[in-house]
């Protein structure tokens, strides 16, 4: 059993005996039994170093209504490492073989990290 649900049951048995179980407690259980949802965050770093500043970013959150939000020039984190410190897990690291120094043509944004968080 999920440890958090076990703790909820233990606490709720005591509340039930004391007559203090509330609808808020049931709402908390609802939250606990929900399947986690994946948040996906694209971060484009200025280099393959996770401490480098960011060039671009995009958060995909399927839980939220897909509504327009105004553009921003304020990155959500200062670096990929700062996002990891906030609980994001990296699911794709940039493949450095894609960034061989040849020619003079730039194309896509560089150093694409993809991160996830289960919430």
Partner 1 sequence: MTTIKPTLDDSGVMDFVASGYVLLEGVIDEAFNHRCNALDGGNVDAFIASDEFTQTVLLHPQIAGVARSLLGEDFLVPAGGHHHLFEQPHMGQTWHSDGLSGSGYDVTELQCYYYPHAVEIEDGPTMILPGSHCRAVDREAIAHYGDIMGQMSLTVPAGTVVMTRYGIWHKAGPKTNNRRRGMLKFSYHRQAAPQRDWCIDTPEIPAYVDRPRLAYVSEVESYRDRVRRMRTWNWLCGLDMEVALRWEKSRPVSQLIGENER
How far is the C-alpha of 12 from the C-alpha of 17, rounded, in Å? 8
Q: Which position among 58, 85, 91, 98 is part of the footprint of partner 1 (CB under 8 A)?
A: 58
Which residues are CB-neighbours of 81 under 8 A, at least 6 positions away?
50, 51
**47 contributes a contact to partner 1 by CB under 8 A:** yes
How far is the C-alpha of 45 from the C-alpha of 117, rounded, in Å? 19
**62 contributes a contact to partner 1 by CB under 8 A:** no
**65 contributes a contact to partner 1 by CB under 8 A:** no
| Beta carbon nearer to partner 1, 8 or 41 | 41
Provide the minimum distance between the beta carbon of 56 and partner 1 in the complex, in angstroms, as a whole number.
4
Which residue, 37, 38, 39, 77, is CA-closest to 57?
Answer: 77
**17 contributes a contact to partner 1 by CB under 8 A:** no
The footprint of partner 1 (CB under 8 A) covers: 42, 44, 46-47, 54-59, 66-73, 75, 101, 103-111
């Amino acid at each position: 059993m999920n440890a958090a649900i076990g703790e909820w049951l233990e606490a709720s048995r005591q509340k039930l005996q004391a007559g203090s179980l509330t609808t808020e407690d049931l709402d908390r259980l609802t939250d606990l039994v929900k399947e986690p949802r994946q948040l996906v965050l694209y971060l484009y770093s200025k280099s393959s170093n996770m401490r480098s500043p960011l060039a671009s970013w995009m958060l995909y959150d399927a839980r939220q209504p897909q509504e327009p939000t105004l553009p921003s020039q304020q990155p959500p984190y200062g670096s990929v490492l700062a996002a990891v410190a906030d609980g994001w897990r990296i699911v794709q690291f940039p493949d450095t073989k894609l960034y061989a120094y040849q020619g003079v043509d730039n194309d896509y944004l560089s150093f694409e990290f993809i991160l996830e968080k289960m919430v």
